Amino acid sequence: MKNNTPTLTLENSDIIDRVNRRYMISIIITVLWCLAVLIAIFVFNVGADSVSGTATLITSIAIPVFLLEPYRIIFDRNWAGTVKSVKRKDKPYKSKTPLVLDSTSITPIITIIIELSNGEVMVKRYKLKRDRYQYAEALVDYYKAGTVVHCYKGLKYLKKDPNIIQVNKFDHRLCIVCGNFGDWNHKECKHCKSTFVE
């Protein structure tokens, strides 16, 4: 396998802008939240006189860090690897009313294990929405063992070369931004309007 790090080109500048914007928004919201917590504690003495004031401070600051994950701007990176295994598990959809087990009541979960050229192992897990049940088998085939895949910083889905997948005997592309499929001859995803990565 080639030891090259994948990068997005200028043709996909909309995706780069989207990722950078998401990073910046998560950082700004986290900073504003932390400032609001500090003001509440030190200016208005909210929880300052209690024994658990420090615990309240730490917990309050940890909430946006956990939910928004602003640290990803440091730890996310581009990488390439080889798929070692791919597994699909169909999980019944939780509902208060009894459902018949069919495509509308099952959530497919696809787990992919990838080995990088340096021996590091990465795991990607995709939980598909119920309306995308019919694409689960196509995704398993797209990420079959032995396939070289690329992961781009800030994006959820992996891309293989070539970015082609057969759905209902027609060629489609996978959008690595939202995970939906688009016609092979289209330049952008009709769901999120992102350009397809070649």
pLDDT (average), residues 82-92: 89
pLDDT of residue 31: 87
Range of the domain at 51: 10-75
pLDDT of residue 1: 43
Model pLDDT for residues 134-147, shown as the tens digit of each residue: 778 888 888 889 98
The amino acid occupying position 57 is L
Q: Is 54 within the bounds of a domain?
A: yes
Average pLDDT of every residue of the chain: 79
DSSP structure string for 140-167 = HHHT-TT-EEEE-TT-SS-EESS--EEE
Please choose, from the candidates 10, 1, 41, the residue with its C-alpha nearest in 3D space to the C-alpha of residue 198: 10
Q: Is 18 within the bounds of a domain?
A: yes
Q: How does residue 96 score in pLDDT terms, banded at 50, 70 and 90?
A: low
| Paired strand residues for 6 | none
Q: Is the pLDDT of residue 73 over 80?
A: no
- Please say whether the dihedral angle defined by the alpha carbons of residues 47, 51, 56 and 62, taken in this order, is positive or negative: positive
The answer to whether the beta carbons of residues 176 and 185 sit under 8 Å apart is no
Q: Is 35 within the bounds of a domain?
A: yes
Where would I find the beta strands (DSSP E) of 40-194? Answer: 79-92, 106-116, 121-127, 148-151, 159-160, 165-167, 170-174, 181-183
Q: Rounded to two decimals, what is the model's pTM?
A: 0.69
Q: Is 152 within the bounds of a domain?
A: no
Phi-psi bin for 23: left (phi > 0), alpha (psi -120 to 50), beta? alpha
pLDDT of residue 47: 58
Number of structural domains (the chain) is 1
Model pLDDT for residues 163-195, shown as the tens digit of each residue: 887 777 778 888 888 888 888 888 888 888 888
Q: Is 58 within the bounds of a domain?
A: yes
The answer to whether the beta carbons of residues 32 and 40 sit under 8 Å apart is no
Q: How does residue 83 score in pLDDT terms, banded at 50, 70 and 90?
A: very high
Q: Is 68 within the bounds of a domain?
A: yes
Q: Is 34 within the bounds of a domain?
A: yes
